[in-house]
Amino acid sequence: MASILVAEDLSAVGGISLSAAVPVLTAMDYQVAVLPTSLLSTHTSGYGRPAIVDLAQWLPQVFQHWTAAELDFQQALIGYVGSVELCQLLTTYLQAQALDLLVVDPVLGDLGRLYDGFDADYVAAMRRLIAPADVILPNVTEACLLTGLSYQDQPALVTLLTQLQGLLKPGAKAVITDVTQADKIGCAWLTDGQVQFVGQPRLAGHYNGTGDTLAAVLTGLLGQGHDLKTSVTLANQWLNAAVAATLAEHRTDARQGINLKPILKAILA
């Protein structure tokens, strides 16, 4: 059983981020170290202002304890972090780990804008956090913020991806996660300077937690040794099935994250 460190927010209600990553990676046979970067009563989309506990005091103590206990992780997935201080703490801790795989979802913003509370210093801290990553999973907005290119919802992918690659170590891959091509939504990355795209039909509606779940699925598949194209293809198929299952429920409350059952079934099949 491989061990994986997953660091992102824990939102008690809403079924996204850590609440989605843990079942997915557990089903994939990982021993999961579940590290909340902050605690929220709900996620931040549609429930009003959540009660939040900042864990900046706790995280250094966690890392100290883990180091003393000689706990090592083979892989890591980093999602929402939340402050410059926490980005720096994670960057330092990860440097001391001999990881086979580090995936960073550089959560910064969406629809061309930084999320509330983030600024240029936070973007700079995120650039330092992605520098040692093997794979990063920005959306188009995050790709623009990281590279400094101006936001377009249909950007020149080859330019954006080439600039992103320049922020990463040799051999690492930038994968943009919310790329639209015709009627499809999917992911784009570069192979030998050529843009690769894998996607699935875009289904009606907008769902919380799709990006977090995609990151967990992709990390798990890559960590199991699948190549990037296979991993991205399977991840997009499974996410599409999860969105379809969510649609079929005709939910009256659209705030809850997607139905994970099709993904768990596919993993266990």
List residues binding ligand ADP (CB under 6 A): 110, 139, 177-178, 185-187, 200, 202-203, 205, 207, 210-211, 214, 236, 239-240, 243
Residue, CB closest to ligand ADP: 211
> Which strands make up the sheet holding 184-191, listed edge to edge?
176-181, 184-191, 194-201
Residues across the chain: 269
- Report the nearest approach of ligand ADP to the CB of residue 235 (Å): 7
Q: Which single residue brings its beta carbon nearest to Mg ion?
A: 211
Question: Pick from Mg ion, ligand ADP, none: which does 240 bind, CB < 5 to 8 A by kind?
Answer: ligand ADP
Q: What is the 3-state secondary structure (H, E, C) of 79-134?
A: CCCCCHHHHHHHHHHHHCCCCCEEEECCCCEECCEECCCCCHHHHHHHHHHHCCCC
In the complex, minimum distance from the CB of residue 168 to Mg ion, in angstroms, rounded to a whole number: 18
Binding mask 205-224 for Mg ion (x = CB under 5 A): ------x-------------
For residue 268, count CB atoms less than 10 angstroms from its CB and return exposed for 0-12, middle for 13-18, buried for 19 or more.
exposed
Whose Cβ is closer to Mg ion: residue 139's or residue 236's?
A: 139
The gap between the terminal CA atoms of the chain, to the nearest Å, is 18
One-letter amino acid identity for 169?
K
Work out which of 17, 44, 83, 139 binds Mg ion, going by CB under 5 A: 139
Q: Which stretch binds Mg ion (CB under 5 A): 85-93, 134-142, 201-209, 238-246?
A: 134-142
Structure tokens at 47: 């429930």
Q: Which two tokens stand for residue 90?
A: 């994670």
139 vs 165, which CB is nearer to Mg ion? Answer: 139
Q: Is-contact 141 151, C-beta < 8 A?
A: yes
Q: In this complex, which beta carbon is closest to ligand ADP, that of residue 75 or of residue 236? A: 236
262 binding partner (options Mg ion, ligand ADP, none; Cβ < 5 to 8 Å by kind)? none
Interacting residues with Mg ion (CB under 5 A):
139, 211
